[in-house]
């Protein structure tokens, strides 16, 4: 089917040459009367001739069967086809009219007339392919049909409605007329419909793409004409050269499909006519699949995926699916699972999480790719991003024909599950699967690239499409064995083609006469696919009764969920406001040279940078454009601010505790110091008395006292820390924090060198300051103890030395503190 033969390629070349030989423009009338060009390739039409011979036997059978049912067929034709004059605009119909007139006159046999018009030798095929004049019926590029299948096909033809079963058949047959034959047909159709149990056939649509710029530049002409949005007329020109005037129409071919879309058709229109009904079926629990088929560059990917401005069938179907599920779901819940794979060079790959090739297995559900990732998506946006991700992983390469040629067959599977309320007491759980397939394009080796990987890809694409055509043939002919296993693609399409599935095929074609061969192939196989009947599509649903209480509870649950949603939205809004306020206040409080204290309150430089970055990212144009990034930025900001607030609170708490402790220590020190000072004169008196006049107090003698004092102090935990002298100015937290650098501290440190009582009193706070610092830094308790000992010793020594010096040197009484 998809593989173009050498003769076609050859033919094209010959046509190119012959076009230059034509001398004079011809009118349509002349064309129809003209014979074949003498310069044509001698092999031209060889393939078709061979085909015609093989089809001859079938043709005769078909003709006799048709003649037997002339009356009924004529009636059906009148209703389904409409009046003949509507086609007169197309050259091929003009040919047909001429043919008809001559046949009516009895001058010549229609087949002969056709033959002469096209200028080709008489061929049975011509009669079969183009005209069935005896029936007043235009038959498309039909294929061999077995005896006894004609009637069945007629019934099938009438019943070509998706999921409508016998009803569609009845209504259409009624339109056919009220005669006995029609009644018989109806009965027969009913019986058939009972037999096939609502089976349906593949619906086939054709979409014509606009002429590409390259094609225009190459001087190609439109060889397709769509009439009544259903009939397609394909005209073959003898020449495909630039010289329009020398073109010669060889013959016309006619096909009828469920719908044919001209090049101006919108994506939405294509979706509504082809896939919307399938989506409805999926929501009712039926499986559905859509696949695009056609030559490379014919517009399959455009139809399936589309662009951002003009989204294709995949995107529109998923959007519809989500919207309708939300509307119909009983409790607002639904599950959509998504998988996306490609068949590239006969290997199956996961497009959502690329890795090793997947193996196909057959289980109860049919053919499945083992290990294929199934993502659960909650919104259309999520599906879109997954789709985008998958497409980035898809193999596309530029070829000579298409700059973004898909080199693989891509299959997107969407499984939708939701619950609906059937009656007051019962719920129905429905599961439906929708497969959206974008096939790689059939291609001629010469049309794309003969070298390297591209040619291997092309060969594989053609091989799998050939396998697809074999399956279509086998299905149409009603064979028992369908060769699905011939390729990975057909294995994966098994459900869609011969399974319990509603299937739609969209055949994409190019209008250019340069692609005549490919277009003819596509239309031929699309026409053939029309005859495939799929099995009765079962509804996949599960019904269960729900107690009234449960129903009430579910109602309540539904309301609560709704409320919850609203509250979440409100919280989000509040957070947004808070965020803005905090950002403003932060900006207002930040100063160029923060003090150490303010540095604790204000964020660190890294934080500032981080914040700055966050704010910048929030307010930068890029992020504003996307609500997602805006939200993410806002969340990040809130998180940073919350972290800061927590850190600051902890710091404040810790400082509060420290402050309390310090105050306590100071009180203790004051008490201790005042006690010692009151003891100092008596010590001096004792010393003077003992020495009998003068006695020098040595350090060692003092040391024992120090140690005893220290030992005594240790007994009480309240004495561990020295406090500043009562005269010392009570220092605030900020002073403490800046103690090392403040001038007051320097004075204190300098004054420690002078051993006067007054300085001793001033000196005392120094260790305390150190301790404060140490406490702040969470030093171990023993360090505090040691420091305390030193401070007490120094204080005591200072007092005693001062006393002895004054007594010894000047003989004056020691000064009391
Ligand atoms: N209906 C259309 N309207 C406008 N442009 C179209 C239409 N159909 C196809 N095109 C354009 O034609 C070109 C080829 O289309 P596309 O890539 O869909 O072809 P294809 O059949 O998927 O080819 P291949 O099999 O090589 O991947 C693209 O640039 C696309 O935008």
Is 405 close to ligand 1, i.e. is its CB under 6 Å away?
Answer: yes
Cβ-count burial of 108 within 10 angstroms (0-12 exposed, 13-18 middle, 19+ buried)?
middle
Q: pLDDT category, 263, cuts 50, 70, 90?
A: very high
Q: What average pLDDT does this structure show over 227-255? A: 72
Is 241 close to ligand 1, i.e. is its CB under 6 Å away?
Answer: no
Q: What average pLDDT does this structure show over 605-617? A: 40
Whether the pLDDT of residue 242 is over 90: the answer is no
- If you measure from the C-alpha of residue 241 to the centroid of ligand 1, how many angstroms do you get, rounded to a whole number? 24
Q: What average pLDDT does this structure show over 254-273? A: 94
Residues 228-246 as b/e (b if ≥16 CB within 10 A, e otherwise) read eebbbbbbbbbbbbeeeeb
* Stretch among 3-17, 159-173, 392-406, 591-605 having the lowest mean pLDDT: 159-173
Rounded CA-CA distance 192/344 in Å is: 41
Number of other CB atoms surrounding residue 424 within 10 Å:
8
- If you measure from the C-alpha of residue 303 to the centroid of ligand 1, how many angstroms do you get, rounded to a whole number? 8
What pLDDT does residue 781 have?
A: 46
Cβ-count burial of 89 within 10 angstroms (0-12 exposed, 13-18 middle, 19+ buried)?
exposed
Range with the largest mean pLDDT of 309-323, 367-381, 602-616: 309-323
Task: Report which ligand 1 atom has the smallest distance to the Cα of 207.
Answer: 1
Hunting for tokens 């406001």 — which residue is that?
A: 577
Distance, CA of 766 to chain centre: 68
Q: Are 462 and 444 in contact (CB under 8 A)?
A: no
Sign of CA dihedral 772, 787, 681, 812: negative
Is 306 close to ligand 1, i.e. is its CB under 6 Å away?
Answer: no
Angle at the Cα of 294 from the Cα atoms of 235 and 269, rounded to 5 degrees = 90
Rounded CA-CA distance 580/575 in Å is: 9
Is 458 close to ligand 1, i.e. is its CB under 6 Å away?
Answer: no
What pLDDT does residue 65 have?
A: 64
Tell which one of 213, 273, 342, 402 to mutate to probe ligand 1, the residue whose CB is within 8 A of the most ligand atoms.
402
Rounded CA-CA distance 745/740 in Å is: 7
Q: Are 404 and 383 in contact (CB under 8 A)?
A: no
Task: Report which ligand 1 atom has the smallest distance to the Cα of 407.
Answer: 27
pLDDT per position as a tens digit, 184-196: 444 444 444 444 3
Q: pLDDT category, 645, cuts 50, 70, 90?
A: confident
Q: What average pLDDT does this structure show over 670-675? A: 78
Q: Number of H helices and number of E strands within the chain?
A: 31, 19
Domain layout of the chain by residue ranges: 6-44+159-163+198-541, 45-158+164-197, 567-650, 657-810
Whether the pLDDT of residue 137 is over 90: the answer is no
Q: Are 233 and 111 in contact (CB under 8 A)?
A: no
| Helix or strand holding residue 492 (H, E) | helix 488-492
* Stretch among 231-240, 333-342, 404-413, 734-743 having the lowest mean pLDDT: 734-743
Q: Which of 191, 149, 196, 144 is nearest to 170 (CA)?
A: 191
Q: Which of 289, 337, 294 is nearest to 524 (CA)?
A: 294
Q: pLDDT category, 269, cuts 50, 70, 90?
A: very high
**Span 6-44+159-163+198-541: which CATH code?**
3.40.850.10
pLDDT per position as a tens digit, 280-326: 999 988 888 898 999 888 999 999 999 888 999 999 999 999 999 88
Is 119 close to ligand 1, i.e. is its CB under 6 Å away?
Answer: no
Q: Are 399 and 411 in contact (CB under 8 A)?
A: no
Contact residues for 432 (Cβ-Cβ < 8 A; gap 6+):
281, 282, 283, 284, 285, 286, 287, 288, 415, 416, 540
Q: Are 451 and 424 in contact (CB under 8 A)?
A: no
Closest residue CA from atom 10 of ligand 1? 299
Q: Which of 708, 712, 710, 772 is nearest to 738 (CA)?
A: 772
Rounded CA-CA distance 177/192 in Å is: 20
Angle at the Cα of 551 from the Cα atoms of 549 and 553, rounded to 5 degrees = 70
Going from the C-alpha of 718 to that of each of 41, 398, 726, the distances in angstroms are 118, 86, 17
- If you measure from the C-alpha of residue 806 to the centroid of ligand 1, how many angstroms do you get, rounded to a whole number? 110
Q: pLDDT category, 262, cuts 50, 70, 90?
A: very high
Whether the pLDDT of residue 523 is over 90: the answer is yes
* Stretch among 59-73, 201-215, 423-437 having the lowest mean pLDDT: 59-73
Cβ-count burial of 15 within 10 angstroms (0-12 exposed, 13-18 middle, 19+ buried)?
buried
**96-104: which pairs have CB atoms within 8 A and are 24 or more residues apart?**
96/130, 96/131, 96/133, 96/138, 96/252, 98/32, 99/131, 99/133, 100/133, 103/133, 103/134
Q: Are 234 and 519 in contact (CB under 8 A)?
A: yes
Task: Report which ligand 1 atom has the smallest distance to the Cα of 292.
Answer: 21
Is 304 close to ligand 1, i.e. is its CB under 6 Å away?
Answer: no
Q: What average pLDDT does this structure show over 646-662? A: 85
Q: What average pLDDT does this structure show over 156-183? A: 34
**Bridge partner list, 236:** 251
What pLDDT does residue 719 have?
A: 36
Whether the pLDDT of residue 133 is over 70: the answer is no
Q: pLDDT category, 70, cuts 50, 70, 90?
A: low
Angle at the Cα of 279 from the Cα atoms of 303 and 207, rounded to 5 degrees = 25
Rounded CA-CA distance 706/140 in Å is: 120
pLDDT per position as a tens digit, 764-801: 433 333 334 334 444 444 555 555 555 555 555 544 44
Rounded CA-CA distance 271/279 in Å is: 10
- If you measure from the C-alpha of residue 298 to the centroid of ligand 1, how many angstroms do you get, rounded to a whole number? 6
Q: Which two tokens stand for residue 584?
A: 């403003």
Tell me 810's DSSP state: I
Closest residue CA from atom 11 of ligand 1? 299
Q: Which of 807, 797, 785 is nearest to 703 (CA)?
A: 797
pLDDT per position as a tens digit, 540-557: 777 767 666 666 677 777
Q: Which two tokens stand for residue 23?
A: 């001398």
Rounded CA-CA distance 550/340 in Å is: 38
Q: Which residue has the higher pLDDT, 150 or 211?
A: 211
Binding-site residue numbers are: 294-301
- If you measure from the C-alpha of residue 301 to the centroid of ligand 1, how many angstroms do you get, rounded to a whole number? 6
Q: pLDDT category, 331, cuts 50, 70, 90?
A: confident
**Bridge partner list, 187:** none
Rounded CA-CA distance 381/379 in Å is: 5
| Helix or strand holding residue 410 (H, E) | strand 409-421
Task: Report which ligand 1 atom has the smallest distance to the Cα of 438.
Answer: 22
Number of other CB atoms surrounding residue 599 within 10 Å:
13
- If you measure from the C-alpha of residue 510 to the centroid of ligand 1, how many angstroms do you get, rounded to a whole number? 9
Total length of the chain: 817
Q: Are 722 and 788 in contact (CB under 8 A)?
A: yes
Q: Are 411 and 496 in contact (CB under 8 A)?
A: no
Q: pLDDT category, 480, cuts 50, 70, 90?
A: confident
Q: What average pLDDT does this structure show over 73-102? A: 37
pLDDT per position as a tens digit, 416-466: 988 887 776 778 888 898 999 998 877 655 444 455 666 666 677 777 888
Q: pLDDT category, 161, cuts 50, 70, 90?
A: very low
Q: Which residue has the higher pLDDT, 458 or 137?
A: 458
Q: Which two tokens stand for residue 34?
A: 């003209």
Rounded CA-CA distance 467/486 in Å is: 6
Q: What average pLDDT does this structure show over 387-404? A: 76
Q: Which of 255, 779, 206, 220 is nearest to 504 (CA)?
A: 206
What pLDDT does residue 642 have?
A: 87
Question: Is the ipTM beyond the 0.90 threshold?
Answer: yes
Whether the pLDDT of residue 531 is over 50: the answer is yes
Under DSSP, is residue 342 helix (H, G, I), strand (E, B) or coil?
strand
Rounded CA-CA distance 410/407 in Å is: 9
| Helix or strand holding residue 367 (H, E) | strand 366-370
Beta-sheet pairing, 231-237 with 405-406? unpaired
């Amino acid at each position: 089917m998809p593989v173009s033969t050498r003769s076609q390629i050859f033919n094209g070349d010959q046509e190119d040459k012959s076009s230059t030989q034509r001398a004079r423009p011809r009118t349509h009338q002349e064309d129809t009367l003209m014979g074949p060009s003498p310069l044509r390739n001698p092999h031209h039409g060889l393939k078709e001739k061979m085909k015609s011979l093989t089809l001859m036997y079938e043709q005769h059978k078909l003709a006799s069967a048709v003649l037997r049912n002339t009356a009924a067929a004529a009636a059906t034709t009148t209703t389904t086809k409409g009046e003949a004059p509507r086609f007169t605009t197309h050259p091929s119909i003009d040919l047909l009219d001429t043919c008809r007139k001559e046949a009516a006159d009895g001058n010549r046999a229609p087949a002969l007339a056709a033959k002469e018009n096209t200028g080709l030798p008489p061929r049975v095929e011509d009669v079969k392919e183009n005209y069935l004049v005896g029936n007043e019926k235009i038959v498309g590029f039909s294929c061999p049909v077995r005896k006894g299948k004609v009637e069945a096909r007629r019934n099938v033809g009438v019943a070509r409605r998706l999921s409508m079963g016998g009803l569609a058949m009845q209504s259409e047959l009624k339109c056919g007329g009220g005669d006995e034959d029609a009644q018989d047909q109806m009965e027969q159709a009913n019986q058939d419909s009972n037999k096939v149990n609502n089976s349906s056939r593949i619906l086939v649509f054709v979409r014509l793409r606009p002429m590409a710029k390259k094609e225009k530049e190459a001087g190609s002409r439109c060889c397709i004409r769509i009439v009544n949005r259903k009939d397609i007329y394909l005209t073959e020109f003898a020449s495909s050269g630039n010289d329009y005037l020398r073109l010669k129409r060889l013959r016309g071919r006619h096909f009828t499909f469920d719908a044919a879309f001209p090049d101006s058709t919108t994506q939405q229109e294509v979706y509504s006519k082809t896939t919307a009904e399938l989506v409805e079926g999926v929501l009712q629990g039926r499986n559905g699949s859509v696949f695009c088929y056609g030559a490379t560059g014919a517009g399959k990917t455009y139809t399936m995926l589309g662009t951002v401005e003009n989204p294709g069938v995949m995107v529109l179907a998923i959007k519809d699916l989500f919207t309708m599920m939300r509307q119909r779901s009983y409790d607002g819940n639904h599950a959509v699972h998504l998988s996306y794979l490609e068949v590239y060079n006969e290997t199956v790959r996961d497009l959502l999480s690329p890795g090793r090739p997947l193996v196909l297995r057959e289980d109860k559900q049919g053919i499945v790719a083992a290990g294929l990732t199934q993502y659960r998506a909650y919104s259309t946006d999520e599906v879109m991003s997954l789709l985008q991700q998958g497409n980035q992983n898809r193999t596309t390469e530029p070829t000579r024909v298409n700059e973004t040629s898909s080199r693989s067959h891509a299959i997107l599977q969407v499984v939708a599950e939701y619950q609906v309320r059937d009656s007051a007491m019962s719920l129905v759980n429905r599961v439906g699967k929708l497969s959206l397939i974008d096939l790689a394009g059939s291609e001629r080796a010469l049309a794309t690239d003969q070298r390297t990987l591209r040619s291997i890809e092309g060969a594989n694409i053609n091989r799998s499409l050939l396998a697809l055509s074999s399956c279509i043939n086998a299905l149409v002919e009603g064979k028992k064995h369908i060769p699905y296993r011939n390729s990975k693609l057909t294995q994966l399409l098994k459900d869609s083609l011969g399974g319990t599935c509603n299937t739609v095929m969209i055949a994409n074609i190019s209008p250019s006469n340069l692609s005549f061969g490919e277009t003819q192939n596509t239309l031929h196989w699309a026409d053939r696919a029309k005859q495939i009947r799929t099995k009765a599509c079962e509804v996949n649903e599960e019904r269960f009764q729900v107690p009234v209480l449960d129903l009430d509870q579910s109602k309540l649950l539904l309301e609560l969920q709704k409320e919850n949603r609203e509250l979440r939205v409100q919280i989000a809004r509040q957070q947004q406001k808070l965020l803005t306020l905090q950002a403003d206040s932060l900006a207002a409080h930040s100063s160029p040279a923060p003090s150490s204290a303010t540095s604790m309150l204000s964020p660190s430089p890294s934080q500032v940078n981080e914040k700055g970055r966050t704010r910048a990212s929030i307010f930068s144009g890029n992020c504003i454009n996307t609500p997602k990034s805006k939200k993410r930025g806002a969340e990040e900001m809130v998180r940073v601010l919350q972290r800061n607030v927590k850190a600051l609170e902890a710091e404040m708490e810790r400082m509060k505790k420290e402050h309390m402790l310090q105050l306590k220590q100071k009180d203790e020190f004051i008490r201790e110091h005042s006690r010692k000072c009151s003891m100092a004169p008596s010590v001096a008196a004792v010393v003077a008395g003992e020495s009998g006049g003068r006695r020098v107090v040595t350090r060692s003698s003092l040391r024992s006292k120090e140690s005893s004092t220290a030992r005594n102090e240790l007994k009480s935990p309240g004495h561990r820390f020295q406090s500043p002298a009562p005269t010392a100015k009570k220092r605030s937290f900020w002073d403490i924090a800046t103690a090392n650098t403040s001038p007051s501290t320097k004075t204190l440190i300098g004054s420690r060198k002078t051993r006067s009582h007054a300085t001793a009193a001033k000196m005392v706070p120094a260790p305390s300051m150190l301790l404060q610092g140490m406490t702040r830094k969470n030093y171990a308790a023993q360090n505090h103890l040691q420091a305390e000992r030193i401070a007490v010793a120094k204080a005591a020594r200072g007092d005693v030395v001062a006393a002895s010096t004054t007594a010894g040197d000047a003989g004056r009484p020691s000064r009391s503190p």
